[in-house]
Structure 1
Amino acid sequence: MQRYNDLRILCTGMGWPSAQPGGLNTYFKHICESLDTQHELEALVCSANKPEVKSGLRVTNVAGTNLKLSKRRDAFRMQAAEIMNGQPVDIVYSHFAPYSLGVAMEAKARNIPVVMTFHGPWSEEIRLEGKGLKHRFKTMIAKSWEMKAYQLADAFIVLSETFRDILHHQYGVPLAKIHIIPGGADVGRFKPAANRSAIRTKLGLPEGKTVVLTLRRLVNRMGLLQLLEAWKEVVRSKPDAVLFIGGKGPLKTELESRIVEYGLQSSVRLLGYIPDSELADYYQAADLFVVPSQALEGFGLITVEAMAAGVPVMATPIGGNREILEKYRPDMLFAGTSSSDIASGLNRILKHPELWPTGEQCRNHVLEHYTWKRVSEQVNEVFHSVIDLDDRHAYVRNQSAAARKRGGREQDESSLSGSYR
């Protein structure tokens, strides 16, 4: 029976953060890099550009993002089948249901165990961002693909209790199959600034101001409209505070309009997309990081990244952010998700910076609970529980087959003896 090192792992993700930023892709990159130090790993992604990967890590771009989703799904299946036919694979580790479906089907046809990380209800995310009959039909198709993929998994990894409950209640996955493993931060990269003033000057951020930062995809469920409405109240009591919003998305035009409508041009700046190479600088330049999510926040990688950089974080009590802060500093959680809850919480904290957790305290909490080394160790445990279980099932199947074979021989011998009597 294989043990803890040198598994042959086929990983399937959505994209790669160098070409397609986002929490899922960032998670996928880091867990692949961490697992690759212990195992033989190959990763499959879909990307518009060639992924920029760490030396020695095998990442194959199976299709461009311009293809129809069904074509991308089929490309993953064909590439996975080619790999499985060419070499042994011990386990398939999947991260995005639409791309996982065909790969999991090929794996199960070869008795290869499948572990899936559930990053959230994809169909529900689609439903929340549109309206109309065509959109409802699209949501139904997405849910169907998810259900088919999840039926093929031997075990699931989720990043929070919230997503465990969604996976169990909305998709019918037994609790015994679900393992909660929070995400991590790159603590070597995200760390407190040696000279924050120099970084602010480099980024063109103001000195003598309290800088509040958020990094979000500009869509409704991220809570940016609520944050802007709250900011009207914040600047009345804290006029030296400035809010910086990094990210891109379909909500940009509406955010720009609200900033003008609320008269916040001097205290709010939309930064646009922040390149990955500048991300650590922006964390280090901030006094406070805020996460105003309204729904479906499975973990919150940005929360632990900011804390690793020594920046206190305030967040709405949604999903993984609630779980991170509740066990650490519950006073850094907003009372709810409304703009009034956000305004009240920000005013309370900004008036009393002496009550904030220190940069050292923030970072130490991440070092203790949220490193990629810790994540990969726990993922390894899930892999081996599934492989061991698969080995036991194979043993039972082989024993049963042997017993049937022996029984058949005994019956044949009995029949033969009877013919000579």
Structure 2
Amino acid sequence: MHVLVVHNRYSSAQPSGENRVVDQEAALLRAAGHRVDLFERRSDDIAGRSLLGKARVPLLVPWNPAVRTELAARLRAERPDVVHVHNVFPLLSPAVLAACADAGVPVVATLHNYTQICSPGTLRRNGRACTECVGGSSLPAVRHGCYRDSRLATVPVAVSLSVNRRRWWSGVDRFLCVSSAQRDVLVAGGMPAERLAVKHNFVPDQGTRRTAPGEHLLYLGRLADAKGVGLLMTVWDELAADGGVGVPLVIAGSGPLEREVGAWAAGRTDVRYVGLYDPRECERAIERAVAVVVPSVALETFGLVVVEAMAAGVPAVAARHGAFVELIEDGASGLLHQPGDAASLARSLREITADPDRNRELGQAARRRYERGFSSAVGLERLLEAYRTAIAGRSGGGDGPPPTEQSGDGPLTEKNGTGSRRDTRAGRDGGRT
């Protein structure tokens, strides 16, 4: 299969899970013998533009006509089987959809966040959940300055959301949500349910496994309020005052709370703030962890660090909402705590560290869950299934609407002509593989 991946790469100053997913999927497809080409822009390049060029960037967010022309010409010349769109902000714009329509190429789009129904894509404002714009006008986002706390910066984002909503919904043959929780929110926000399928992100098996009880609890991620970093620090202070849990807390990452976390950890023996780890350091830190801690107070669409821990046979302690509920089997492959609840998080941290034998069992179950639902083999199967269904639908070869449901571990499914469901792994290839 020939796939053209369309992606606006996020700034390298802030590690991006989305960039990593794009790169891992491309590598997975190539390793399986498929041709993968890239049509991309890089946000890093904005800094090198002239003053006038930088001033023009906001104008390109809703629509970049040059991108439409360039991409359409490339599609006509190369004729890929399918285009896979990830991020188009800020330099590509939804003009990529018009280019695909011009060339008659089917489109699959992965939705990594909530930008289809929320200008900043987070469903949060001022540290709290917010759905004021969902299903309606984007004017509240402008009024509140939801993107980067700036009304001026929010205007082009809100305009793009408003004027391109229908273009997205009609121009994409298959939307891939990274969790059922995300899909439920997007459908409630008005997106067409028949075009939204669930395809969890996969994590490559790096071959690292935990072989000892573990040396530390690990927080690995962005240092921001929405990620529950403040809650974790509060809970850890309470645990320390009560004698601790027997292992130190390691915090790795960067973000707006970096200075605060560094000052909090300074001089302590029960906390180590290590800054930003490279990929190999992340693997080693996970491999040596008693558990990874993911106390996010935001409604996360996925949790890569949870699945990375699963792959290493390490359980996770995470908030009981969003995607974490479908990633972790509470009490079987990890522990879930009440979101934002300090006492609940403290109980979970005590429990995960109290019994090494139970912890080992949780880790082994997490590894089995990874193999069943989040491995490279599973990721490849579901990705190709999405492409084939989009191709068949565009060519008129489909026998029903796009898939609308997927279980946590099962294949993509679709309705057949009788209205029942069948496993689409069994041989429909769309004629274009």
TM-score by length of 2: 0.74
* Conserved? CA contact 1:160–1:299, under 8 Å: yes
**Is 1:23 the equivalent of 2:17?**
yes
Distance 2:238 2:312 in 1: 28
Quote the residue 1:104 is aligned against. Answer: 97
* Conserved? CA contact 1:18–1:276, under 8 Å: no
Q: How do 1:337-376 and structure 2 match up within 5 A? A: 337-358=340-361, 359-376=363-380
Quote the residue 1:192 is aligned against. Answer: 209
* Conserved? CA contact 1:115–1:154, under 8 Å: yes
Q: How do 1:12-411 and structure 2 match up within 5 A? A: 12-15=6-9, 21-36=15-30, 37-47=32-42, 63=45, 68=57, 74=64, 76-98=67-89, 99=92, 101-122=94-115, 123-125=119-121, 128=125, 130-131=148-149, 133-134=151-152, 137=155, 140-141=158-159, 143-144=161-162, 147=165, 150-151=168-169, 152-170=171-189, 172-187=190-205, 189-193=206-210, 210-235=215-240, 236-238=242-244, 240-259=246-265, 265-326=268-329, 329=332, 332-358=335-361, 359-392=363-396
Quote the residue 1:405 is aligned against. Answer: none
Distance 2:149 2:272 in 1: 30
Distance 1:30 1:10 in 2: 15
Letter in 2 for 1:95: H
Q: CA deviation at 1:166?
A: 2.2
Q: 1:8 aligns with which of 2, 24, 29?
A: 2
* Conserved? CA contact 1:308–1:366, under 8 Å: yes
* Conserved? CA contact 2:297–2:340, under 8 Å: yes
Q: 1:325 to 1:145 in 2, by over 3 A?
A: farther
Q: CA deviation at 1:344?
A: 2.2
Letter in 1 for 2:217: V
Q: 1:69 to 1:247 in 2, by over 3 A?
A: farther
Distance 1:384 1:312 in 2: 35
TM-score by length of 1: 0.76
Letter in 1 for 2:312: A
Quote the residue 2:143 is aligned against. Answer: none
Quote the residue 1:413 is aligned against. Answer: none
Distance 1:381 1:21 in 2: 29
Q: 1:239 to 1:88 in 2, by over 3 A?
A: closer
Distance 1:131 1:20 in 2: 18
Of 18-27 and 213-222, more deviation after overlay is shown by 18-27
Distance 2:150 2:9 in 1: 28
Q: 1:148 to 1:23 in 2, by over 3 A?
A: farther
Q: 1:69 to 1:136 in 2, by over 3 A?
A: closer
Of 318-327 and 240-249, more deviation after overlay is shown by 318-327
Q: CA deviation at 1:177?
A: 0.7
Q: CA deviation at 1:385?
A: 1.5
Of 64-73 and 104-113, more deviation after overlay is shown by 64-73
Q: Percent identity?
A: 24
Distance 1:212 1:310 in 2: 14
Q: Unpaired segments of 5 or more residues in structure 2?
A: 49-53, 127-147, 399-433
Q: 1:240 to 1:357 in 2, by over 3 A?
A: closer
* Conserved? CA contact 1:97–1:145, under 8 Å: no
Distance 1:330 1:312 in 2: 6
Distance 1:146 1:222 in 2: 30
Q: CA deviation at 1:366?
A: 0.7
Distance 1:128 1:149 in 2: 26
Distance 1:134 1:48 in 2: 19
* Conserved? CA contact 2:295–2:339, under 8 Å: no
Bigger-Rg structure (1/2): 1
SS at match of 1:289: strand
Number of residue equivalences: 358
* Conserved? CA contact 2:72–2:102, under 8 Å: no
Distance 1:347 1:193 in 2: 20
Alpha-carbon RMSD across the aligned residues, in angstroms, is 3.0
| Deviation readout 1:64-99 (Å, 9 max, x if unpaired) | 566536558747545423421322122111111434
Of 303-312 and 347-356, more deviation after overlay is shown by 347-356
SS at match of 1:14: strand
SS at match of 1:34: helix
Distance 1:177 1:388 in 2: 14
Letter in 2 for 1:158: C
Q: Unpaired segments of 5 or more residues in structure 1?
A: 1-6, 50-62, 198-208, 395-421
